[in-house]
Amino acid sequence: MKEINLPQRLTLANTPTPVQRYEFEGAQFFMKRDDMTGMETSGNKIRKLEFLLADAIRKRADVVITCGGEQSNHARATAAACAMLGLQCKLYLWGEKRANPVGNLFLNEMFGAEMEFVNKKDYLLIDEKIPAIIAKYKAKGLNAYYIPEGGSSPLGILGYLESFSECAYLLRKDKIKGIVTAAGSGGTAAGLLLASALFNVPVKVFAVNVLYPKEVMIDKILALAESALAILNLPVNIDTAKLEVLDGYSEEGYKAISPAKIQVIKKFARETGVLLDPVYTGKAFYAYKEQFLKGKKSSNIMFLHTGGLYGVFPKVKEYLGK
Ligand SMILES: Cc1ncc(COP(=O)(O)O)c(C=O)c1O
């Protein structure tokens, strides 16, 4: 296969992240620890930001604008990375201003990001409003660079090629048949799907949709994978059959978490010392347990821990059952 020529990127993440072996409810499995990509920048998003912020700097940005839910891990990682790079950061967050910000909101403040809170209706229109927002910055002599929700642009998802390549050898050697990941904007799953085609490793990508309905999620992931492949201009085909969305594991809503899932998160934390977040990995792990661990001695499906731990703090009461 032709060499993969990636666009320029920054080195911001602590990589490679480890793949560790765990046992839960009698079943053994591998977990890739992308929650360990950094401290302030922990989680999957920093891999995408390595490409996106390199592009922002190349385009001489003064301000980086992005958006997400109130407890967005992507927004927090962007705020932290901007502070590292001396860039201003503006966040549009779906939620309300809090008197006592906790979790990611607190960290955004610590990193000096400017936050603007919007309701869901306005949040869904952000992409359309961005040109006018950028023009306002321009009028003030500032060059603004926009990163879409979750860092999931064709450029951003190239960050997941490296995560995949870090475990490609193990996936082949141990005949791992799939990877389970939480899916919000879909970029992580899209990056994994593209990587499995590029590296010719026959694994399925199981995406647990926490935000968008199944059909929307499938379309988003496939479109992202195709548009990232177009950047690379390589002669491979993305096999749509390699993508499966595990639907029905976020019925409590994006920002909520059901007591049944909290029970699993707690049990897993107590037995392994690994914490899962309420919005993404807690739901994805629940799906993983139901689909691939139940009654089995080992699972040849890997779980990707994508981080999100600061999102635990606004949910302390729920986690403790109070
Ligand atoms: C902790 C965590 N896991 C998973 C995801 C989902 O990743 P993606 O938006 O690339 O689908 C996100 C962000 O949305 C996240 O913050």
Determine the pLDDT at residue 78.
Answer: 98
The one catalytic residue in 42, 72, 153, 299 is: 72
Prior bond to 16 cis, omega within 30? Answer: yes
* Identity at 119, one-letter amino acid code: N
Q: Residue 77 is encoded by which pair of tokens?
A: 């990682």
Burial readout 151-164 (b: 16 or more C-beta within 10 A, e: otherwise): bbbbbbbbbbbbbb
Measure 276 CA to ligand 1 centroid, in angstroms: 13
**How far apart (Å, rounded) are the C-alpha atoms in residues 279 and 281?**
7
CA nearest ligand 1 atom 3, residue: 306
**How far apart (Å, rounded) are the C-alpha atoms in residues 279 and 87?**
28
DSSP 84: H
Measure 303 CA to ligand 1 centroid, in angstroms: 14
Per-residue pLDDT of the chain (322 residues; tens, 9 = 90+): 558 889 999 999 999 999 999 999 999 999 999 999 999 999 999 999 999 999 999 999 999 999 999 999 999 999 999 999 999 999 999 999 999 999 999 999 999 999 999 999 999 999 999 999 999 999 999 999 999 999 999 999 999 999 999 999 999 999 999 999 999 999 999 999 999 999 999 999 999 999 999 999 999 999 999 999 999 999 999 999 999 999 999 999 999 999 999 999 999 999 999 999 999 999 999 999 999 999 999 999 999 999 999 999 999 999 998 8
Determine the pLDDT at residue 2.
Answer: 59
Is 98 within 8 Å of 108 (Cβ atoms)?
A: no
Measure 138 CA to ligand 1 centroid, in angstroms: 31
The helix (H) or strand (E) run that includes residue 260 is: helix 259-272
Active site residue 153: no
Domains and CATH numbers, the chain: 19-44+155-320 (3.40.50.1100), 46-151 (3.40.50.1100)
Determine the pLDDT at residue 4.
Answer: 87
DSSP string, 110-131: HTT-EEEEE-HHHHTTHHHHHH
Predicted TM-score (pTM) of the model is 0.97
Is 301 within 8 Å of 29 (Cβ atoms)?
A: yes
Q: What is the dihedral of CA 283, 286, 292, 295, to 10 degrees?
A: 180
**How far apart (Å, rounded) are the C-alpha atoms in residues 206 and 283?**
13
Which protein residues touch ligand 1 with a CB less than 6 Å away? 43-44, 73-74, 150, 152, 182-189, 277, 280-281, 306-308
Q: What is the dihedral of CA 257, 281, 92, 146, to 10 degrees?
A: -160
Prior bond to 148 cis, omega within 30? Answer: no
Ligand 1 atom at minimal distance to the Cα of residue 308: 1
**How far apart (Å, rounded) are the C-alpha atoms in residues 56 and 90?**
14
Determine the pLDDT at residue 3.
Answer: 80
Q: Which residue pairs from 223-230 have beta carbons closer than 8 angstroms and sit at least 24 positions apart in sequence? A: 224/152, 224/154, 224/157, 224/186, 224/187, 224/190, 224/191, 225/157, 225/190, 225/191, 225/193, 225/194, 227/154, 228/154, 228/155, 228/157, 228/158, 228/190, 228/191, 228/194, 229/194, 229/197, 230/154
Ligand 1 atom at minimal distance to the Cα of residue 72: 16
